[in-house]
Homo-oligomer: A and B are copies of this chain.
Amino acid sequence: MVFRFSKEDGLSGFIPGYNVRTDLALEAHEVLSAREELPGVEVEKDGDQDIVINRVAITTEQGARSMGKAMGNYTTLDVPGLRKKNTALQDKVVRVFYKEIQRMLNLNGEQNIMVIGLGNWNVTPDALGPRVVQELFITRHIMQMKPEILGEGYRSVCAFSPGVLGITGIETGEMIRGIAEHVRPDIIVAIDALAAHRMGRLFTTLQISDTGIVPGSGVGNRRLAINRETMGIPVYAIGIPTVVDAVTIAGDSMDALAVSLKKESPQGNAFANVVQGMEWGEKKEVIHDVLQPFAGDLIVTPKEIDTQIEDISLVIAASLDAAFHPKIAQEEEERGKIH
């Protein structure tokens, strides 16, 4: 049981009609497909016991409306083992993920790539994007000035972290667009920390999509879309859940209490019916009471988030390096043979 949001709520990242905020298409599909038909949404499963791959395609406007997500393709890797430090598994994820990135990006020929590290580098759970950018192999300036240093097997990659509105006074979207107009990349890849619905997703799910970044997604609420419409070139987004919205925890706790009582007694059952009958407005008031004075700006995150962010950033940076540069992909494959 989940609270139903009225459509006019317009809370970003929330699945229309539910109190479930998630930036993962896969989670939205799980919540919705449990109780309704989802025309215009296709899911394909792949992978093995370590790494489950889901490829979700939202193919119609109706599908997009139901899912509360833009039309396009979303691939997720689910790797529950990632939460524990495991070098061999991390290496395996790199070898699987870089191929999914290549598949999504249709890399061929000599595309120039611009990578954007979204998020606030001063707030640990939002610092994923800047951390990935910091680890990335940057080649654009070398290829322009001294290509002989690199030799064959590399693409032109540049990258930067635009910061957040509160730090710069400038909308992230404005900044990226201005730079893209001068740098003229063929594609943009944006890296962002995401909000998930389920705690179990944190640091274990990797999502790549061809839809870009939509307003209100991510840990730090973007205001402008960063996508093909606004940038004029394909924009891909890679995201990892690092937080759950505190509203989600509050709502889920109420739901869980009702479900728990329902099982037990007639009174519990009656209560569950009451809760199900509640208007969202009422529930929202209850949640806001608990969370005030912060309302919608609270995040739930593990205490030991620093090592999690560190580890997953290295995995993403290595995956991007291998996806972009055939020479590095080859090295990854060779390394893979010894395990």
Give me the interface of A with B, judged by CB distance under 8 Å: 83, 87, 120, 122-124, 126, 138-142, 156-160, 162-163, 165-171, 174-175, 177-183, 199-200, 202, 219-221, 246, 249-254, 256-257, 260-261, 265, 267-268, 270-271, 274-275, 282-283, 285-287, 289-294, 297-307, 331, 334-335, 337-338
New A-B pairs, 18, CB < 8 Å, besides A141-B170, A261-B271: A138-B169, A141-B171, A156-B169, A166-B307, A177-B182, A178-B181, A178-B183, A181-B181, A199-B298, A246-B300, A249-B253, A249-B291, A250-B253, A252-B290, A260-B286, A265-B274, A267-B270, A299-B300
Give how many copies assemble into the complex: 4
Q: Give the residues in chain B near A251, CB-CB below 8 Å.
A: 253
A329 to chain B, nearest CB (A): 14
The reply to whether A292 and B257 form a contact with Cβ atoms under 8 Å apart is: no
Q: Are A287 and B253 in contact (CB under 8 A)?
A: yes
Query: If A160-B163, A160-B175, A300-B300 touch, does A249 touch B200 (CB 8 Å cutoff)?
Result: no
User: Considering the chains assembled together, what is the distance between the CA atoms of A270 and B265 in angstroms?
Assistant: 12
Judging by beta carbons under 8 Å apart, are A306 and B260 in contact? no
Pick from B126, B169, B181: contact of A140, CB below 8 A: B169
CA distance A256 to B183 in the complex (A): 46
Q: B159 and A168: CB pair below 8 A?
A: yes
Residue in B closest to A177 when the chains form the complex, CB atoms: B182
